[in-house]
């Protein structure tokens, strides 16, 4: 009788304890939060396939995808702790480092100079970058195309101050471009491919012979130092998805297109202009990034000079000592 009474009282507690234990085992110790832009086709493919979740499951790590409209906003998210890892173009990390953001470069995609360009409406009288003097040019401030515009103007003997920059995010810039509120737009793929196909926009210049247009993987410094296995797994999956994408562009475009709200033909054109496959940051690539930083400081776009080397892995103590 006493046994039955005890069982009646203890059984629910025992079952609850078992449930809590099972739940604790099923709940990953932490979640990798990845900041991405819808225009980042490879990450969009990874997200849709669930390949990264499968790769990280044995490590007990879940994945949360956090979307941002562009690189500068993503870097802000990284800085305030909303994400652990992010993927952006060349310029956003420089503006973020100048603002004191705490991150490190952990890898980069190969150069893709054709994947960004300065475009004008199909019926525009403008035929060259030199003719942009005094004109309104839309661009996303602090993005990779910011540097493209700076260097393209320099190549024509012009300064950034010779044009009227109109800082707009891609969606707003597209609207301004189509209603004639700006004379030109500096933009990256797949938005570039979309405006070319859908409105007949003409290129005045792409990045070839002007900029490299690298893209970078960044991480919050503490996360990169504490979770090297997670970063390695992320990169292994990225390499696998990159190999699939380049070998199956048409099939990949069919998957990515509805997720980006664009036509498959537009995505195919965009994918053909990008290079994929994360690589470790080399001294040569870091030196190119330093050139961008120096240029932005000279132009007064960032308030102080920065050392890109301070944002490379393993430089925490060096950076602290230099303050």
Give 142-169 pLDDT, tens digit per residue: 788 999 999 999 999 999 999 999 999 8
In the chain, what are the domains?
Answer: 28-112+214-321 (3.40.190.10), 114-206 (3.40.190.10)
Can you tell me the mean pLDDT for 258-278?
Answer: 91
Can you tell me the mean pLDDT for 176-193?
Answer: 96
Question: 6 or 111: which carries more pLDDT confidence?
Answer: 111
User: What pTM does this model have?
Assistant: 0.80
Task: State residue 293's pLDDT score.
Answer: 95
Task: State residue 102's pLDDT score.
Answer: 87
Can you tell me the mean pLDDT for 42-48?
Answer: 89
Task: Name residue 215's beta-bridge partners.
Answer: 89, 109
- Mean pLDDT in the chain? 87
Q: With residue 303 as reference, give the H or E element that holds it.
A: none
Give 186-210 pLDDT, tens digit per residue: 999 999 999 999 999 999 999 999 9
User: β-pairing, 202-206 with 116-120?
Assistant: antiparallel
Tokens of 57: 């499951």
For 132, half-sphere exposure in the C-beta direction (CA atoms, 13 angstrom radius) is 33
| 86: Cβ contacts below 8 Å, ≥ 6 apart | 34, 35, 36, 68, 74, 75, 77, 78, 217, 218, 219
Can you tell me the mean pLDDT for 172-192?
Answer: 96
């Amino acid at each position: 009788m006493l046994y039955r009474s005890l069982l009646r009282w203890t059984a629910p507690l025992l079952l609850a304890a078992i449930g809590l234990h099972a739940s604790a085992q099923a709940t990953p110790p932490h979640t990798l939060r990845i900041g991405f832009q819808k225009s980042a086709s490879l990450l969009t493919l990874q997200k849709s396939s669930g390949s990264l979740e499968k790769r990280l499951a044995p490590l007990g790590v879940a994945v949360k995808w956090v979307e941002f409209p562009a690189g500068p906003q993503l870097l802000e998210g990284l800085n305030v702790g909303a994400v652990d890892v992010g993927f952006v173009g060349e310029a956003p990390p420089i503006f973020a480092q100048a603002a004191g953001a705490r991150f490190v470069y952990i890898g980069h995609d190969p150069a893709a100079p054709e994947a960004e360009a300065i475009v004008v409406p199909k019926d525009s009288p403008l035929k060259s970058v030199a003719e942009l003097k005094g004109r309104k040019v839309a661009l996303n401030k602090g993005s990779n195309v910011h540097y493209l515009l700076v260097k393209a103007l320099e190549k024509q003997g012009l300064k950034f101050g010779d044009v009227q920059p109109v800082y707009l995010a891609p969606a707003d810039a597209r609207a301004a471009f189509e209603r004639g509120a700006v004379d030109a737009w500096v933009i990256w793929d797949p938005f570039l491919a979309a405006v070319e196909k859908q409105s007949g926009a003409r290129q005045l210049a792409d990045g070839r012979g002007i900029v490299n247009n690298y893209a970078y993987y960044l991480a919050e410094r503490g996360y990169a130092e504490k979770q090297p296995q997670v970063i390695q797994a992320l990169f292994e999956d990225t390499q696998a998805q990159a190999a699939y994408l380049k070998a199956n562009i048409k099939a990949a475009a069919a998957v990515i297109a509805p997720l980006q709200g664009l036509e498959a033909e537009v995505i195919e054109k965009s994918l053909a202009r990008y290079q994929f496959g994360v690589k470790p940051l080399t001294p040569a690539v870091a030196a190119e990034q330093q050139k961008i930083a120096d240029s932005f400081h000279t132009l007064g776009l960032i308030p102080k000079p920065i050392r890109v080397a301070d944002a490379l892995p393993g430089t925490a103590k060096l950076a602290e000592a230099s303050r």
